[in-house]
Amino acid sequence: MTPRPERVRRFTRGERRVHRATAALMLVCLVTAAALYLPPLAELVGRRRLVVAVHEWSGIALPLPALLGLASRAFRRDLRLLNRFAPYDRDWLRDALRRVPRDRRAAGKFNAGQKLYASFAAGAVLVMLGTGLLMMFPHLSGVVWRTGATFVHDWLALAVAAVVAGHLWMAADDPQARLGMRTGFVTPEWARRRHPRWEYAEPGETGEPGPPDTGA
């Protein structure tokens, strides 16, 4: 048996920066949205035109970190992994619905939940950007479109807030996952337990860690 590496690289520095910048912009969008939308907060904060400007510009900037991240090979590789669903991802979702304990569900570097979250986030950012621009420039479109854009923007905002809260909840529940995003490294024990199909390679290792306990 090959000696186990002390730690496994999960994210490069560039990827972590993309995540951090996206998270910060998303937070600003959500906080300013709340200050515009919830009456008690709107009353407390006031400064409506300033809050609107901060909301608009952080929303426009939201896709930029990921676009810049495309320069990174590691980021592009992870996007491919997030995009593709293997048969075990369907099993993961089915098991998740049946409340099978997480350590007995098969997953690659990203589990099916993370894949769906990432796709939802990407789609939501684009739809919010498009509808937001329609609301910013009402003269470019008719009233019907502007009302439609407001409709989509408002309801999707509620969904985004709920899903991001779920994302934070999952992270709060898994210190190793947070460590991976903060430092870039996780322990091999965690990688095998939570992501048994993850084909990570360490220097000195040929890959194929061959998890003994996938349960799949």
Partner 1 sequence: MEDKGTPVGRRVVLGMLGLGALGVAFGSRAQDGLDSALSQVAGKDPTGLSGLLPGGGGFRIYNVANSVPHRDATDYRLTVSGLVDRKATHTLADLRAMPQTRLVRDVQCVTGWRVPGTPFEGVRLSHLLDLAGVQDGAGAVRFTCFDGVYSESLTLEQARREDVLVALRMQDKPVSTAHGGPVRLYVAPMYFYKSAKWLSGIEVTRDVRPGYWEHYGYEVDAWVGRSNGRHDDPTS
**Binding site residues, partner 1, CB under 8 A:** 37-40, 42-44, 46-49, 77, 80-87, 89, 108-109, 115-116, 118-120, 122-124, 126-127, 130-131, 134, 138, 142-145, 147-152, 154-156, 158, 197-199
**160: which residues sit within 8 A by CB, 6+ positions away?**
30, 124, 128
Which CB atom, from 137 or from 172, has the smaller least distance to partner 1? 137
Q: Tokens 């048994």 — which residue?
A: 196
Q: How far apart are the C-alpha atoms of 198 and 147, rounded to whole Å?
A: 45
Q: How far is the CB of 145 from partner 1 (least distance, A)?
A: 6
Q: How far apart are the C-alpha atoms of 166 and 142, rounded to whole Å?
A: 36
Which CB atom, from 77 or from 182, has the smaller least distance to partner 1? 77
Q: How far is the CB of 203 from partner 1 (least distance, A)?
A: 20
Closest CA to 119 of 82, 154, 74, 88: 82
Which CB atom, from 12 or from 141, has the smaller least distance to partner 1? 141
Q: How far is the CB of 158 from partner 1 (least distance, A)?
A: 8
Give the orientation angle of helix 13-37 with respect to helix 48-61, to 10 degrees: 150
